[in-house]
Structure 1
C-alpha cells in the first residue's frame, strides 16, 4: 500500500514539473535581422532579411572562403501587420524578432506613409526593442539587404548593422537608433535628420569587377513626421559641429585654392545661445576644440593654422545654415533650441508649434582652435629638398 502511494505521489509531482518539452532548437527558428518598409499604391511592402547564424558565427571567428548566406523575403498588405502576416505563410518555421537590428524606410514611406502607425505596429511585437539602427533609402530594398561587406564577412559587419565604426572615422552624419528617431519626430520644433543609405558601385573592385558597398551619403529631414526633403552629405559639414554626438573630425585647410594642411579636431565643445532682438530670436554659436596636425603642405605658424581652422569651421556652419534657408529646412535644429530656452517666444513665433520658425537668424559664429599636437615634425621644418 505504501509502495503504491509513493508511486502515485511521484507520478503526481512529475506532472507538475515543466521540463523542456516545448523547447526549440536554434536550427528550428528563423531569425529576422533587418526589415525594409516601402509604400506603393497605397499598400505597405515589407522586405525581411534573415541570416544563417551558423555561417555568421564562422565568418565572425575569421575570414571565410564562402560568403554568409542571406535570404530576403517580400510581402505587401494594406497595413504593416498585414504584410508581415502575409510573409509568415512562407517562413516554414517559427520566427524570432529579437535579433532585429536594422530598419530601412524608403523615400515613399517617408513621404506618404503613416510613420507613427508603422512604428506603433512594429513595436507592438514584444521581441522587438527600441535599439535597431534606422535609415532612409532611395535604393532598391533587395539591393540594400543583399550587399555584402568585404572578405565574405556576414552583413552584421556592414554599415547596415554597425554604423558606429565608420562614423568614428568620418564623423559627419551621426547614426540614429529607432528610439532617438521616434523621439525626434514627435518633439516640438525638432528637425530629425535620418541617415540616407545608398549602394556605391564605383569605389571598390573585386577581381576587376565592381564590388558594391553600402554608404551613408546624406540625410532625410523630417519635422513632426512631415517629410521635408533629402540633403547630400557634402553640403552638411556644418551639422557635425552642433551635434552633441560629435567626435573628432578632419578639416582640410586651404588658402586661395592651395592646400595648406589637414587637422583633426578632438573633443570640440559647442555652445549655442539664444537672444531676442526686436522680438526675433538670434542664435550665436561658440566652439572650442583642440587639434592635431595630420598633414602640412605649406609652412605656416601655429597661430595662422589655428586662425585658418577657426575660420573654416565658421564658414562650414554658415554654409549649412544658408542651405537650410534655401530649402526651408532647419538643418542646424535652431528652432528646437528656442523651444528649450524660451518657450513663450517659440509659442508666439510658431503659433504653438503649428508652423515652423521662419528663417532662423544666425548671429555670431566663433570657433577657437588650439593646436595641441603637431606630430613628429616641427612646424618650421624645411619644406624644400636640396
Structure 2
C-alpha cells in the first residue's frame, strides 16, 4: 500500500514540473534582427532583416572563408507601421519573431514626419527592447540591410549590429541606444542625434571585388521633438571634446607632421547670469602624449597649435548649431537644470556663436616619443 501511494505521489509531482512542451525548434521561426522603416506617399514601408542562426553558429565554429550566410529581407506597406508588419506576417513562410531585434533603421522621411509613430510602435511592441540601436539613412534601406562584413562574416559583424566595437575610437558621432534617445527626446532644450548610415563601395575589396560596407557619415539632428536637419560628421568635430566616453583622441597638426593623443579631456561649462540671455565660458583641459614629431618642433609650439585646433573645432560645431538652431553640444542643458528661473525656455534653447563668451583650452604635453629599441 505504501509503495502504491509513493508511486502515485511521484507521478503527480511530475505533472507539475516545468518542461519544454511549448518550445519551438530554432528552424521553426524567422528571427528578425533588424527593422527598417520608411514613409512615402502617406504609407509606411516596413523592412525586416532576418538571419539564419543555424548557419551563423556553423560559420563561427569553422573557417570564415566559407560562403556567407544568406540575409532574408522582407518588405510590406501599410497605413500604419503595425498594419505593414501584419501584412508581412500574413505572407511569411515561417512565423516572425522580434525578440532578437538589435537595430531600428529609419529613413530620413520617417525622422522628419513620423517620429511619434516610431516611438509608439517601439513602446507598444512587447518584444522590442529599449536597448536596441537607432540609426537613420538617406539611402535605400534594403541596401543598408544587405551591406557586407569582411571575410564572409554574417551581418552581425557590421556596424548595424556592432557599432560599439567598430566605433570605439570614433567620437564624432554619439552612437547611443534607443533608451538614451527617448530619455531626452521630450526635453525642451538640447539635441538628440540619430547616426546616419551610408554604404561605402570604394575603400575595401576582397579578391578585387569591391565590398559594400555600411559606415557612419553624420547625424540627423532632433531638437524639441522637431527635425532640424542632417549634419556631416566633419561639422561635428567639436562633439568629441565634450564626450564623456572620449578617452584617447588622436590629433594631427602642422600638415600632419606632428601627431598627439589627447587623453581624457575634461570640460566645464560656466553660465554667465548677467545678460538678457545666457552666455557661456567653455573650458577644456587635457594631457597629451606626443607620438610623432618629424621636424622636431618645440613642445611650446605644439602645445599652442593643439589648443588652437581644439578651439577651432569647438567653434565649427557651435557655428553649425546657429545654422540649425539646435544646441549640438548640449550646452544649454546646464542652464535648464540649474538656472531655469533666470530665462525663458526659448532663450535658454537658443545657442549660436554669440552665446559663447569665451573658450579656454589648456593642454599639457606629457612626454616625448619613445622609440622601440
Q: Same fold (TM over 0.5)?
A: yes
- RMSD of aligned Cα (Å): 2.4
Distance in 2 (CA, whole Å) between partners of 1:19 and 1:252 is: 61
* SS of residue paired to 1:290: strand
Distance in 2 (CA, whole Å) between partners of 1:98 and 1:185 is: 24
* SS of residue paired to 2:364: strand
Contact map agreement 1:196 1:216 (CA 8 A) in 2: yes
Cα distance, 1:195 vs structure 2: 0.8
Distance 1:159 1:98, change over 3 A: same
Q: Which of 289, 303, 326 is equivalent to 2:323?
A: 326
* SS of residue paired to 1:84: helix
Q: Is it true that 1:184 corresponds to 2:184 in the alignment?
A: yes
What is aligned with 2:196? 196
Distance 1:302 1:58, change over 3 A: farther
5+ long unaligned stretches in structure 1? 379-386
What is aligned with 1:313? 310
Q: What TM-score results when the alignment is normalised by the length of structure 2? A: 0.91
Cα distance, 1:349 vs structure 2: 5.0
Distance in 2 (CA, whole Å) between partners of 1:377 and 1:6 is: 79
Q: Which moved more, 1:14-23 or 1:169-178?
A: 14-23
Cα distance, 1:156 vs structure 2: 1.0
What is aligned with 1:383? none
Cα distance, 1:237 vs structure 2: 0.6
What is aligned with 1:350? 346
Q: Is it true that 1:125 corresponds to 2:125 in the alignment?
A: yes
Cα distance, 1:90 vs structure 2: 2.5
* SS of residue paired to 1:319: helix
* SS of residue paired to 2:151: helix
Cα distance, 1:197 vs structure 2: 0.8
Contact map agreement 1:103 1:134 (CA 8 A) in 2: yes
Contact map agreement 1:167 1:173 (CA 8 A) in 2: no
Distance in 1 (CA, whole Å) between partners of 2:112 and 2:41 is: 13
5+ long unaligned stretches in structure 2? none
What is aligned with 2:58? 58
What is aligned with 1:74? 75
* SS of residue paired to 2:273: strand
Q: Which of 268, 273, 278 is equivalent to 1:271?
A: 268
1:1-386 alignment, distance < 5 Å: 16=16, 19-61=19-61, 62-113=63-114, 115-254=115-254, 258-346=255-343, 348-350=344-346, 356-357=349-350, 359=352, 361-377=355-371
Cα distance, 1:307 vs structure 2: 1.7
Distance in 2 (CA, whole Å) between partners of 1:7 and 1:208 is: 71
Distance in 2 (CA, whole Å) between partners of 1:252 and 1:15 is: 70
Contact map agreement 2:36 2:141 (CA 8 A) in 1: yes
Distance in 1 (CA, whole Å) between partners of 2:206 and 2:160 is: 21
Distance in 1 (CA, whole Å) between partners of 2:190 and 2:109 is: 21
* SS of residue paired to 1:229: strand
Cα distance, 1:98 vs structure 2: 1.8
Distance in 2 (CA, whole Å) between partners of 1:12 and 1:170 is: 60
Distance 1:349 1:279, change over 3 A: farther
Distance in 1 (CA, whole Å) between partners of 2:238 and 2:93 is: 49
Distance in 2 (CA, whole Å) between partners of 1:92 and 1:350 is: 53
